[in-house]
Structure 1
Amino acid sequence: MHDRSGCFAARSCNKFHGVAVNAVGNVTRIVSMKFAPLLISVPLAWSMAFQSLSVYAQTPLPLPPRTQPSPLPPRTPAPARPTNGGVCPAQLGNSLDRIVNGLPANWSVLVQTQAAPGTRRNLYSRNPFTQLAPASNNKIFTTAAALVRLGAQYQIRTPVLGNSNTPDLATLRVIGQGDPSFGNAQLNSLTQQLRQRGIRQVNQLIGDDTAFRGAEFNPNWNPTHRGEPYAPLINSLMLNQNSTYSYAISNPGNNFVGEFRSRLASAGIQVKSSTLVKRTPAPVGEVELASVISPPLSSLIFSTNQDSDNAYAEALLKTLGRLQDPNSLDTTTSGIAAVRSILTELGVNANRYRMVDGSGLASSNRASAEAFVQTLQAMALRPDAATFRRSLPVGGVSGTLSSRFRGTPAQGIVSAKTGTISGVVALSGYVTPRNYSPIVFSILVNSGNSASTVRASVDSLVVALTRLQDC
C-alpha cells in the first residue's frame, strides 16, 4: 500500500521524504514516471548525500555581509607652479646652482629668510663657512659695530682751544678727533667763530693729531696703493678725506694745519708760527674758543656704505679703537678688537671672519657668507634696523648700486653693500621680494675672471631671489 509519506507498508520507512530503506541497508527512491513509479535502489551513503544536498537546496544560504568600498588614497597634490615668472623655494636651489656652476670660482653664498634665531630658513647655501676676501663688504662689520656701540645720534666734536680768551693768543690749538666728514666748510666755520670772538693774533698754531695712534697707512694694504685717492692716510686731523680726486695727501696732519693757517690769515688773524704734535696731549687750563660737530653717526655710516668710502670706514674703526682703549698705541688694532667684541655680542661667529682693516681694502681680510648673514640678521632685529638698512645702496637707485639692477625685478627692492678689489666681487644685504617674505643674503666670489663677468653672475643670483614666491 502506498501512503502519503511515500513509503510502502511492507517495508520500514525512514523519515526522509520519498525514500524507503530495505533490510540490506539500501535506499529505494521513488521516481515519478508517467505510467508507474520506478523503484531505484542505491546505497545508503549515497542516499544520505542526496538528502544533504536536498536540505541545502531547500535552505537559502545567508548573504555575506555587505562591505563598504575601501576609501581612495588621498590624492597627492600636483606640485605648485610659480606664476608670472616666479620661482618656488623648491626650485631655487637648481636655479642658483646653474648660475654658480656656470662660473668657475671660489664661492661662499648663504641665503636665509629674515627672521629671529630659531625661525630662519636656509633657502640656499654654497660653501657658507668658507672664508674668502670680502673687499668692501668689510664695511658691514665696521658700520654695524659703530652703530651698536656709538648710537645713531653720536657726533664727533672738533674743538679749538686757546691759552686765553684775548685778541692776542700765545697758543691756538685745534684738536683732531678723526671726523671723516671734516672739510672746507668746517674749517671756514672755525675761522669765522674765532674772528667773531675778536682773535687777531696767534703766536703759535698747534695741530693736535694725537687721538689716533699707530700707522696712518695700514701695513696690510698693498704698498702700490700708497698715494691713491682710495687709500688715504688716516689720522685724527682729517680734511676732505685726506685726498683729492686724483691722489691721497702725503702728510695730512701738516696739510690740515697749513690750510687752517691760510684761512686764518685770510680772515685777518695773523699766525706767527705753526706746528703739528702727535704725542703730546693738550695741557690743562686752555679755553675753548670754537668748535664744530660732525653730522650724526647715522649720516656717517650712510656715507661709508653708500659711497663705499674707505676713509670713513677706517676713521670709524679707529674711533671705536680709541674708545675701546684710550691708551692703545694702535687704534686700528684696538678698533678691530672692539668690532669683534660687539659682533660677538650680536651672535656673529668670531671664527668665521678675520679683519685687518675697517674698509676691506686689504686683500688679507677674510670672511664667510655666514658671518655677513649673521650680522645682517642681527641688525635687522635691532631698534635701529631702519637706520642701518638705509645706509646700504639700493639696486638701480642709489650709491654704488645706482647703475646695477636697473630694469630688473631687483630694482628698488635690494639694499646691499658692494665689494670689489682685484679678484674679488661681493654683495651682501637684504631683498624684499614682492611675493615672498624678506630675505638676507651674502655672496662672496674670489676669482680670476673679470669683475664685470663675476658681477653679472652675482646680479643674476640676486634677481632670482627677487622672483621668489610662496608655492
Structure 2
Amino acid sequence: MTALLTSREPFVKAGLPYLLLSCLLSLSAAIAGSRSGSARAQAPATVGRAHRAGRSKEGRSDIARFGERVQATLESMGNDKAYWGLIINDADTGEVLYSLNASRYFMPASNAKLFTTAMALATLGPDFHIRTTVESAAEPDSSGHLEGDLVLVGRGDANLSSRVVPFAEHAERNGPPEKALADLADQVAASGVKEISGDIVADDGYFAPERYPPGWGIDDAVWSYGAAVSALAINDNFISVILHPGATIGAPLIYSAAPWPGIYEMHNDTLTTAAGTEPKLRLARDPDSRTFHLTGTLPLDAAARELQLAVTQPAENAAAILMQLLEARGVRVEGRSRARHGDRSALPQADSPTHVLAEHTSPALLEDVRLTNKLSMNLHAELLLRVAARERAGATTIDEVLAFATGFWQSVGIAPDDVQLSDGSGLSRGDLVTPQSVVQLLTYALRQPWGADFAATLPVAGQDGTLETRMRGTAAAGQVHAKTGLVEHVNSLSGYATSRRGAHLIFSIFGNNTGTHGRDALNAVDSICVAMVEELAPHKQTRAPPSAINRRAASNQAQGRISR
C-alpha cells in the first residue's frame, strides 16, 4: 500500500466545577430522562432545517437563543449534505434541553473511546495494574547458563515505552523508546543469566492473534494510529523514523529509526531538493511486508521530519529488540528471536509453573485511561477493551470481547440497538452510536465512585490534550471537558460543560458526511460549544453549592497532584 504523509488525531484540572452534590443525587433519573426526552421520531435534517428538527425545552428563552445559534452555525457551513446530531442534558435535573437527531445512528470516531474507558474503569477499577514478565522453565545454574527458552510474556500493557506517566498537559518521553524493555533486560542480567541455550520468545497469547479489528482501513496499518493490536506493545507498536535533508541538493535524505529491531528493511529512494521547494514524501508497504519503501523529496532548508511507522508483527518485534538488549548486556543467546501466538479457538489456559526472572508493572489503569482520552490513543483503547474482557470474562477473541462489552453497556441501561461498536478506539468505519447513548454513558460514569476521576481524563478546551488549541479565547475555554473524534467525514465531541451562568451540562455533538468541509465541521462543533456555554442557564431550583467531590478535587490541586 502507498500512503501520503498525513496526520490524524492521534480534562480537566482537579476542580470539576460542574460536579455538584445535587447532580450526583439526581442523575439516576437522567438515564431514563435522556432516552424518553429525545427518542421521539425525527426526520433526518438538512442544514436548512436544523432548528426545526431540533427539540428543546419549551418556554425558555436561553434555549431558544441557543437553538437559533445552532441553526445559524450549521447554515453558515454551506454544506447541506452533512448530517448532524446533538443532545444536551441538564446534569442536575436530567432534563433534555436540546435534541437534534439524538436517536439516530452516527459514526462516533474516537468518541467510541468513552465507552471503552468507562467500561475499563467500571470492570477493572482505577487501581488495576498489568504485569509483563520474563520467564523461563528452569533457573540459571551457578555459571549463569540458562537451559531452554527465555520467554517475554505480554498481558496487554500499553505503556512499555519511555512515556512519562502520569500525563501532565503535554506528552513527554524520558529515555529511548525501548526503555521499559531495557529495564527488563537489566533485571535478567542482574539475575545472573550469562548464556541462554534456547530462543528469545515473545508470547502474546493472552489474546487471540487478531491484530486488526473489523472495519479498519488498509491504509491505517501504515501509521502509528493504526498499529497492530497485540498483548505485547513496545513503544505503542511503532518505529519512529527521523528524516533530515542530505548535505547537498540531489543527496538522499538521512534517516534514523528507533527502536529498530533488525527484522525490517528500509528502502530509501528520496532526494534533497533546493531550499524553499515543497516537500513531497511517500511511504509504501504491502500488507504484512517487512519492507518500507520511502520515496519523495525534502528541501535543503527543511526541519527534521518524524514518521511514526506502524509495526505489523508486534511479538516478533518485541522478541528481536529484547534479544538485542540482552546481547548488548553481555548475555550470549544460542538460539534466535521468535514469537508465540495464542490459538483463537482455544480456551484460556492456566499459567504453567515458571521462574520469573524479570517483571514490569504498568501504571495504574486510571493513568492509562487519562492518556487514552487526552491524546486519543487508539492502541491503548484497544488494549483496555481486551484486557477488561480477558480479566473479567476470559474472553480472548474479538467476538467474545465485543460480546462482553455489549453486555456491559446494556447492564448500565443503554439500549442494545443504540451502540454498535466493532472496536474499542473508534477507528472502525463500522462503528455506530446514537448521541443519546453517549449522554447516557456519561451520565452513568458521573454517578460512579470514579466519576470525577473519569471526567478529569477528558481534554480541556483551550488547555490540553486534543482540545489544547481549540476554543482558545472563548467562553468555552476551560469550561468544556470532552472527548474529540475525527476520521474522514466525521467530527464529534462529547463530554461535560459548565455554562457561564452556572448550568451543569452533559452533551454529545456529531457531524457525519461532512465531505471536504472537515475544518468547517470542526469549527461548527466548537461554535456550538461556545453557544452552549454562553447561552444556557441552570434550572432555577437546582442551584447548589460545590459538592464534596469538588472540594476534594480542589484540595488535590492545591497539593500539586497531577489530575489532568
Give the TM-score normalised by structure 1: 0.77
Counterpart residue number, 2:329: 267
1:25 alignment partner in structure 2: none
Q: Secondary structure at the match of 2:360?
A: strand
2:83 paired with 1:88: no
Pairwise CA distance, 1:153: 0.4
Identity of aligned residues (%): 30
In 2, are the aligned partners of 1:217 and 1:234 still within 8 Å (CA)? yes
**Secondary structure of 2:85's partner?**
strand
Corresponding residue for residue 90 of structure 2 = 113
- The equivalences for 1:201-280 within 5 A come to 201-204=195-198, 205-244=200-239, 245-273=307-335, 274-279=337-342
Q: Say if 2:160 and 2:180, in contact at 8 Å, map to a contact too.
A: yes
DSSP 3-state at the match of 1:416: strand
Alignment CA distance shift 1:112-1:309 (3 Å): same
Q: State the match for 1:181 in structure 2.
A: 159
CA deviation profile, 1:22-80 (whole Å, cap 9, x unmatched): xxxxxxxxxxxxxxxxxxxxxxxxxxxxxxxxxxxxxxxxxxxxxxxxxxxxxxxxxxx
Residue in 1 that maps onto 2:372: 304
Shift of the alpha carbon at 1:226? 2.2
What code does the residue aligned with 1:144 have? A
Structure 2 partner of 1:151: 125
Compute the displacement of 1:264 (Å): 0.7
What amino acid sits opposite 1:181 in the alignment?
N
State whether residues 203 and 341 of structure 2, in contact with CA within 8 Å, keep that contact through their aligned partners in structure 1.
yes
Contact preservation (8 Å) 1:172, 1:202 = yes
Shift of residue 413, structure 1, vs aligned partner: 1.0
Q: Would the aligned equivalents of 1:107 and 1:444 in 2 still touch at CA under 8 Å?
A: yes
Question: Is 1:295 matched with 2:358?
Answer: no
Higher-Rg member (1/2): 1
Deviation at 1:411, TM superposition (A): 0.6
- SS of the equivalent of 1:111 reads strand
Alpha-carbon deviation of 1:123? Answer: 1.1
Give the total of aligned pairs: 381
How much does 1:114 deviate?
1.1
Structure 1: which amino acid aligns with 2:158?
P
Q: Counterpart in 2 of 1:169?
A: 146
Q: CA shift at 1:160, angstroms? A: 1.4
User: Per-residue CA shift, 1:129-162, capped at 9, x if unaligned?
Assistant: 1101111111011111011101000111111112
In structure 2, stretches of 5+ residues that fail to align are 1-59, 162-177, 240-306, 344-348, 541-564
| Contact 1:92–1:123 (8 Å) recurs in 2 | no
Q: How much has 1:344 moved relative to structure 2?
A: 1.9
Does structure 1 retain, via aligned residues, the 8 Å contact 2:320–2:338? no
Mapped partners of 2:310, 2:190: distance in 1 = 33
Whether contact under 8 Å (2:236, 2:379) holds in the other structure is yes
Q: Distance in 1 between matches of 2:130 and 2:399?
A: 21
Aligned equivalents of 1:208 and 1:448: distance in 2?
43
Tell me the CA shift for residue 314 of structure 1: 0.9
Letter in 2 for 1:150: L
Amino acid at match of 1:258: A
Q: How does 1:126-141 map to 2 (within 5 A)?
A: 126-141=100-115
* Alignment-derived partner of residue 461 in structure 1: 528
More displaced 10-residue stretch of structure 1: 245-254 or 354-363: 245-254
Distance 1:287-1:175 versus aligned 2 partners, 3 A rule? same
Following TM superposition, by how much is the alpha carbon of 1:252 offset from its aligned partner in structure 2, in angstroms? Answer: 1.4
Change (3 A) 1:384 1:169: same
| Residue of structure 1 in register with 2:192 after alignment | 198
SS at match of 1:100: helix
Is the Cα contact below 8 Å between 2:482 and 2:493 reproduced in 1?
A: yes
Does the 8 A contact of 1:212 with 1:318 survive in 2? yes
In structure 2, give the amino acid aligned to 1:197: S
Cα distance between partner residues in 1 of 2:223 and 2:503:
42
1:190 & 1:246 partners in 2: Cα distance?
24
| Secondary structure of residue in 1 paired with 2:157 | coil
SS at match of 2:499: coil
- Check the 8 A contact 1:182/1:239 in 2, yes or no: yes
CA contact (8 A) 2:113 2:381 kept: yes
Matches of 2:473 and 2:351, distance apart in 1 = 60
What is the CA–CA distance in structure 2 between the aligned matches of 1:100 and 1:294, rounded to whole Å?
44
Tell me what 1:73 maps to. none
Deviation at 1:206, TM superposition (A): 1.8
Q: Which amino acid aligns with 2:212?
A: F
Determine the C-alpha separation between the residues in 2 that align with 1:326 and 1:347. Answer: 24
Aligned equivalents of 1:403, 1:464: Cα separation in 2: 18
CA drift of 1:214 comes to 3.9
- In the other structure, the counterpart of 1:20 is none
Q: Which moved more, 1:224-233 or 1:456-465?
A: 224-233
- The list of structure 1 runs, each at least 4 consecutive aligned residues, that deviate by more than 4 angstroms after superposition, is 280-283
Instruction: Decide whether the 8 Å contact of 1:418 with 1:427 is kept in 2.
Output: yes
Which deviates the most, 99-108 or 363-372? 99-108
Matched to 1:136, the amino acid is: S
CA contact (8 A) 1:163 1:169 kept: no
Distance (Å, rounded) in 2 between the aligned partners of 1:114 and 1:372: 14
RMSD: 1.9
Distance 2:313 2:533 in 1: 47
What is the aligned partner in structure 1 of residue 557 from structure 2? none
**CA-CA distance at 1:254 after TM superposition:** 0.7
Q: What is the TM-score when the length of structure 2 is the normalising length?
A: 0.65
Q: Distance in 1 between matches of 2:189 and 2:238?
A: 28
